[in-house]
């Protein structure tokens, strides 16, 4: 029986002999490597935190003590030590283990996350909460050096250093965010961490070798026994123990899709099709070449947004500002005010973090910032925390902002040019996934609203925004239906909508939360114009969260497939 097979809960980790811990770590690594190989996942991040997690479970007793992992992507070893080993192969799939940590999955998960830089604030909240309710337990926040580039971490440190509830902060410093970490905090951690944290009022322990379990146990015990807030600084290596990850200079195998090992070499199963992010990044290359005032900003997502080649070509005009969405947007506002033409490439889910910056710093001064809103819609395996399904609801009320989405890849150049030309805030939303390259449909030059499929006397009209129009178009094939692409959700063409309303039945299909999206825009306009038309909506559920799983399968279940749309139209059309 392997050591891991003997571990049903963290108590069993504490029961092992000290000499057995390195073998336990090796076994954990093996399972992490095989799991990610078959289902994909946060490989490099989790490999780097193995010893740290074993040491944490030796010293602290969950669930009474609370381990709060920032993001939660590095914590596969924690899942494996807390009774979830048998289900590890279900990771990130429908009904399977969650991609990040989730208290509904295990009492050992102190808090769920998925977005970065929240652990310290959660930790202070838990510590104060335990203190005020006189409940037992210590609180430990485990934070990456990348997460420390996020302002919320510093808001949390500012409070933790003086709070009565005592927090232990463990810094998992591997020098990497997803890409190499950026900015001055990384330098401080290398050179001056003790002085920095002590000057804030923390005790500082470290730096300690984050792969020496014995040393880690010692420093964590010291932190546990201290009466002051403590920072434990562990130096770790991302991708540790798996050569292909260790030697991946760009991300150290941060996160990967399923892979195979052939002759000791890692083969990634990528189909070689162009994604929306890639298509947009390629377009940016020609845009930056032609427009010397154009600049690009990413909050730590060079890789995800496919911007690395662009950053290599334009090192002065592509800014990776770290995991700092709020700063990214206000920084873009500053650039725009100084006469530049900023394009912020940001995932829909991470734009959420900067709604006030969007309103206060960009929309109110009506600055010409273009937002390339990536991963708009369902994202699949990353699940609930990463679904790009809220941005439309908070963007639609923004005065003066346009919200467009390409249906085909070759819509992108016109959309970008139009966004830049309007000299006001502009959102271009596109989903996760591969593009449909060519555009067989003519666009109305004036309104840009277009019939993707027209029909003389349609019995129902599908109304969509973006690539879902392709699904709607397919649903029209051989049926008396038509499909309208609204183009700009904030400027739907009245004449087009009126003629769609003449069919008597509209089906608004959208891959977002149902309140505040295209359905709202369409029904508001119809009401204002005094048209009567039956309008149905196919979208996400209003009162539930769509969790992890294959997005295509989820779309099917939500009725956002060809069959689903046909069903919706047939049941709605007039007999």
Ligand X SMILES: Cc1ncc(C[n+]2csc(CCOP(=O)(O)OP(=O)(O)O)c2C)c(N)n1
Q: What are the residue numbers of the active site? A: 238, 325, 353
Instruction: Rule CB under 6 A: choose which of 74, 275, 341, 404 binds ligand X.
Output: 74
Residues 345-384 that bind ligand X (CB under 6 A): 350, 353
- Which of 57, 78, 108, 238 is in the footprint of ligand X by CB under 6 A? 238
Tell the smallest beta-carbon distance from residue 175 to ligand X (Å): 8
Question: Using the rule CB under 6 A, is 555 a contact of ligand X?
Answer: no
The DSSP H or E segment spanning 260 is: strand 259-262
Residue among 24, 71, 333, 379 that touches ligand X (CB under 6 A): 71
The bridge status of strand 370-374 relative to strand 341-347 is parallel
Residues listed for the chain? 575
When asked if residue 298 is in the footprint of ligand X (CB under 6 A), the reply is no
Q: Sheet with 294-298: list strands edge to edge.
A: 318-320, 294-298, 341-347, 370-374, 426-429, 402-404
- Binding marks (x or -) toward ligand X, 455..494, rule CB under 6 A? ----------------------------------------
80 lies in the site for ligand X, by CB under 6 A:
no
Cα four-point dihedral sign 570, 572, 574, 575: positive
Binding mask 264-293 for ligand X (x = CB under 6 A): ------------------------------
Q: Near ligand X by CB under 6 A, which window of 68-76, 90-98, 457-465, 511-519?
A: 68-76
Task: Using the minimum distance from each CB to ligand X, give the nearer residue, 65 or 325.
Answer: 325
Backbone angles phi, psi at 286, to 5 degrees: -75, -35
Among 25, 31, 81, 116, binds ligand X (CB under 6 A): 116
Near ligand X by CB under 6 A: residue from 10, 72, 146, 520: 146
Q: What is the 3-state secondary structure (H, E, C) of 374-418?
A: ECCECCCCCCHHHCECCHHHHHCCCCCCEEECCCCHHHHHHHHHH
Contacts of 478 (CB under 8 A, 6+ apart): none
Give the SS3 label for residue 69.
Answer: strand
Place of tokens 């730096």: 207
Q: With contacts defined by CB under 6 A, name the span among 142-150, 203-211, 275-283, 487-495 that binds ligand X.
A: 142-150
Nearer to ligand X, 116 or 141 (CB): 116
Alpha helices (runs of H) in 256-372, residue ranges in sequence order? 276-290, 308-313, 325-337, 348-351, 355-356
**What tokens does 417 get?**
């040019």
How far apart CA 244 and CA 261 sit, in angstroms, is 10
Q: Does 101 bind ligand X (CB under 6 A)?
A: no
Omega of the bond leading into 207 within 30 degrees of 0 (cis): yes
Q: Which of 52, 185, 279, 323 binds ligand X (CB under 6 A)?
A: 323
Tell me which stretch binds ligand X (CB under 6 A): 131-139, 144-152, 409-417, 508-516.
144-152
Residue with tokens 């003997």: 6
Contact flag: residue 178 with ligand X (CB under 6 A): yes
Among 147, 186, 359, 565, binds ligand X (CB under 6 A): 147
In sequence order, which ranges of 210-347 are alpha helices (DSSP H)? 213-225, 243-246, 276-290, 308-313, 325-337
User: Which residues make up the interface to ligand X (CB under 6 A)?
Assistant: 45, 48, 70-71, 73-74, 115-116, 144-147, 172, 174, 176-178, 238, 254, 300, 323, 325, 350, 353
């Amino acid at each position: 029986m392997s050591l891991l097979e003997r571990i049903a809960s963290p108590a069993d980790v504490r029961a092992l002999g000290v000499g057995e811990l390195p073998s336990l770590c090796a076994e954990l690594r093996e399972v992490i490597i095989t799991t990610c190989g078959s289902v994909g996942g946060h490989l490099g991040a989790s490999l780097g935190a193995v010893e740290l997690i074993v040491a944490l479970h030796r010293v602290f007793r969950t669930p009474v003590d609370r381990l709060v992992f920032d993001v939660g992507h590095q914590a596969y070893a924690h899942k494996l030590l807390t009774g979830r080993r048998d289900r590890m192969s279900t990771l990130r799939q429908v009904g399977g283990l969650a991609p990040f940590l989730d208290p509904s999955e295990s009492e050992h998960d102190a808090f769920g996350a998925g977005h970065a830089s929240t652990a310290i604030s959660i930790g202070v909240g838990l510590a104060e909460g335990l203190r005020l309710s006189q409940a037992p337990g210590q609180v430990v926040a485990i934070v990456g050096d990348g997460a420390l580039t996020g302002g919320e971490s510093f808001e949390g440190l500012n409070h933790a250093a003086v709070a009565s509830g005592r927090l232990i902060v463990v810094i998992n410093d591997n020098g990497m965010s997803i890409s190499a970490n950026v900015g001055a905090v990384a330098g401080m951690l290398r050179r001056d961490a003790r002085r920095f944290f002590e000057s804030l009022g923390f005790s500082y322990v470290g730096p300690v070798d984050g792969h020496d379990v014995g040393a880690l146990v010692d420093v964590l015990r010291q932190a546990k026994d201290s009466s002051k807030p403590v920072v434990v600084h562990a130096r770790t290596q991302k991708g540790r123990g798996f050569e292909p990850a260790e030697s991946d200079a760009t991300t150290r195998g941060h996160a990967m899709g399923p892979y195979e090992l052939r002759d000791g070499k890692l083969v990634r199963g990528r189909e070689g099709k162009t994604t929306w992010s890639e298509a947009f990044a390629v377009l940016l290359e020609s845009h930056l070449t032609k427009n010397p005032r154009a600049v690009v900003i990413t909050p730590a997502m060079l890789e995800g947004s496919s911007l690395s080649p662009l950053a290599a070509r334009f090192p002065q005009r592509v800014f990776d500002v770290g995991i700092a969405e709020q700063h990214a947007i206000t920084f873009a506002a500053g650039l725009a005010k100084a006469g530049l033409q900023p394009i912020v490439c940001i995932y829909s889910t991470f734009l959420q973090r900067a709604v006030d910056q969007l309103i206060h710093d960009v929309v109110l001064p009506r600055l010409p910032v273009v937002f390339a809103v990536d991963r708009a819609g369902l994202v699949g395996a990353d699940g609930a925390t990463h679904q790009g399904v809220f941005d439309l609801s908070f963007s639609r009320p923004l005065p003066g902002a346009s919200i467009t989405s390409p249906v085909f890849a070759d819509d992108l150049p016109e959309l970008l040019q139009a966004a830049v030309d309007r000299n006001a805030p502009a959102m271009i939303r596109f989903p996760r996934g591969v593009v449909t390259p060519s555009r067989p449909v003519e666009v109305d030059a004036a309104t840009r609203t277009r019939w993707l499929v027209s029909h003389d006397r349609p019995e129902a009209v599908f109304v969509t925004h973006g690539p879902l129009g392709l699904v709607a178009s397919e649903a029209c094939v051989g049926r008396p239906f038509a499909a309208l692409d609204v183009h700009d959700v904030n400027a739907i063409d009245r004449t087009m909508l009126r003629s769609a309303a003449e069919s008597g039945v509209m089906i608004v299909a959208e891959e977002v939360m149902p309140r505040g999206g295209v359905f709202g825009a369409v029904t508001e306009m119809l009401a204002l114009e005094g048209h009567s038309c039956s309008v149905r909506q196919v979208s996400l559920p209003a009162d539930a969260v769509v969790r992890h799983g294959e997005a295509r399968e989820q779309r099917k279940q939500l009725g956002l497939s060809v069959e689903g749309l046909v069903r919706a139209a047939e049941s709605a059309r007039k007999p």
